[in-house]
Chains A and B, each alone.
Chain A
Amino acid sequence: MYEWDFSILFGYRWLFLQGLGITIAFTAAIVVGGIAIGLLAAICLLSRFAVLRAVSLGFIEVFRCTPILVQLIWFYYALPILVGIEMTPVTASLLALSCYGGSFYAEIIRGGIVSIDPGQQEAGAALGMTPALVMRRIILPQALRRMGPALMNQSILQFKNTSLVSVLAVPDLVYQGQMVAHDSFRPLETYTAIAVAYFVILFPLTVFVRRRERKLRVSA
């Protein structure tokens, strides 16, 4: 029978905390970046210009239909050769994860926008608002409220997806865990502790999302 001993992990607490800090900072960055990209892609999808629609759709499908792990490696190794710019593991990871997330956010945001009653757009237009102003002041505030739970769910996935940046040696929680496991010869304790850390952060968020969803359903 395996004898569990979590106490040895205490000696590595600063490493874990550092890793956790990077994971959280990464998540914040790729959620913001992903939503920005998703918003842009969604608006292009709804554009009256066929070229914009095609480009946006192409982007979304490429990132939705390829594995994120492959994208990470591709951004780090292939892109610098193709465009001739050096890329740090952090930049490559941020780009890949933001684009990957963006392709999913785009569909959520597009769905949210088209779910708003066309009468809202008409009312704004009839008051002399330009299409951009109608989008910013009338449609998006209503759509974003409605999409909140779906965006949160996608962001929870984004949080977990950051664990993949360890393959590019970005020192996130999982990467630091690998270091600790090697150093302590205690991989079971280490990875269990990491799993618990992810769970403790994400579980309250999923509860929160579920509650928001129920509230939206009641008010709708």
Chain B
Amino acid sequence: MTTSRPMIEVKALRKSFGTLTVLKDINFNVEAGGVVALLGPSGSGKSTLLRSINLLVVPDGGSIRVGQTTFAFGPSHKTPRSRELAAFRSRTGMVFQNFNLFPHMSVLQNVMEAPVYVRKLPRNEAQDLAMAQLEKVGLADRAYQVPQTLSGGQKQRVAIARALAMEPDVMLFDEATSALDPELVSEVLLTIQQLAADGMTMVIVTHEIPFARDVADRVVFMRDGVVVEEGPARQTIDDPHMEATRSFLSHFHKGRMPR
């Protein structure tokens, strides 16, 4: 028996889109403060799995627990109501490949929006909180600009600040650097690394193998909707046991993450 329960527990998760089965019986846990990298070729189901964790994708079967909240899926379970979903998602932060900042608001308003309208914090309190998060990602001086004036890397750091302003239990990253120009990738990776150092529980879908090796404690390799291999990050990336993992990793350099 361990003394503490994992922060995220995914059990027997299944998902199909029409006749296409994307997730087949997925099981994995993330310890509190742990960082798990989901790796695998495109179409392997890793993004769908990540989106299932905050129920942007509603699974067909299995169960998901994050913190104290458990959702079970399948014919015998009713689909969660939108209010329950919203309350649950307010405890999980998500960062998207395409940033998805709100273009009709300033940077500060982007970060304040959910604290004001979801957590119902007083405006001045929400503003202090938002400024603190922008400070953390190094963009406090951009608070009054609109997102369109920022570089891709800055936009993604604002998106991270926006998610952090909800003070979530876990953070989910969906290919957060895939839409960025190469020279902008490292500023975002460093921000994520800082979060890991602060003890945030995170699940990261990424193609940055050196980054996963450095920052994640564990990696989960997926292919065709199943977990092929799972283990401690360094050991698994440096010495994978499964042929599928080995052939996937052979496409990447295994050097250290760029600084």
Q: Which of A122, A128, A142 has the most CB of B within 10 A?
A: A128
Contact with B along A138-164 (1 / 0, CB 8 A): 100110010000000000000000000
From known contacts A127-B89, A127-B162, infer whether A133 and B100 are also in contact, taking CB-CB under 8 Å. Answer: no
Docked-complex contact B82 and A128, CB < 8 angstroms: no
Docked-complex contact B82 and A130, CB < 8 angstroms: yes
Contact with A along B220-245 (1 / 0, CB 8 A): 00000000000000000000000000
Q: Which residue of A lies closest to B98 (CB)?
A: A119
Q: Does A168 contact B (CB under 8 A)?
A: no
Q: Write the residues of chain B forming the contact surface with A, with a CB cutoff of 8 angstroms.
A: 54, 56, 82-83, 85-94, 96, 98, 100-104, 113-114, 117-118, 159, 162-163, 166
Docked-complex contact A137 and B166, CB < 8 angstroms: no
Contacts of A128 in B (CB 8 A): 86-91, 114, 118, 166
Contact with B along A39-60 (1 / 0, CB 8 A): 0000000000000000000000
From known contacts A122-B56, A128-B118, A129-B114, infer whether A145 and B98 are also in contact, taking CB-CB under 8 Å. Answer: no
Task: State A123–B96 Cα separation when bound (angstroms).
Answer: 8
Task: State A179–B85 Cα separation when bound (angstroms).
Answer: 62
Contacts of A138 in B (CB 8 A): 102
Contacts of A141 in B (CB 8 A): 104
A165 to chain B, nearest CB (A): 37
Contacts of B92 in A (CB 8 A): 126
B29 to chain A, nearest CB (A): 22
A contact residues, total (Cβ < 8 Å) = 18
Task: State A130–B87 Cα separation when bound (angstroms).
Answer: 9
Docked-complex contact A129 and B117, CB < 8 angstroms: yes
B54 to chain A, nearest CB (A): 6
Q: Which of A119, A120, A126, A137 contacts B54 (CB 8 A)?
A: A126
Q: Does A201 contact B (CB under 8 A)?
A: no
Q: Which residue of A lies closest to B94 (CB)?
A: A126
Docked-complex contact A120 and B102, CB < 8 angstroms: yes
Task: State A142–B90 Cα separation when bound (angstroms).
Answer: 23
Contacts of B87 in A (CB 8 A): 128
Contacts of A122 in B (CB 8 A): 56, 96, 100
Q: Which residue of B lies closest to A142 (CB)?
A: B104
7 pairs of A and B residues whose beta carbons are closest in the complex:
A128-B90, A123-B100, A127-B114, A126-B94, A119-B100, A128-B118, A130-B86
Q: Does A131 contact B (CB under 8 A)?
A: yes
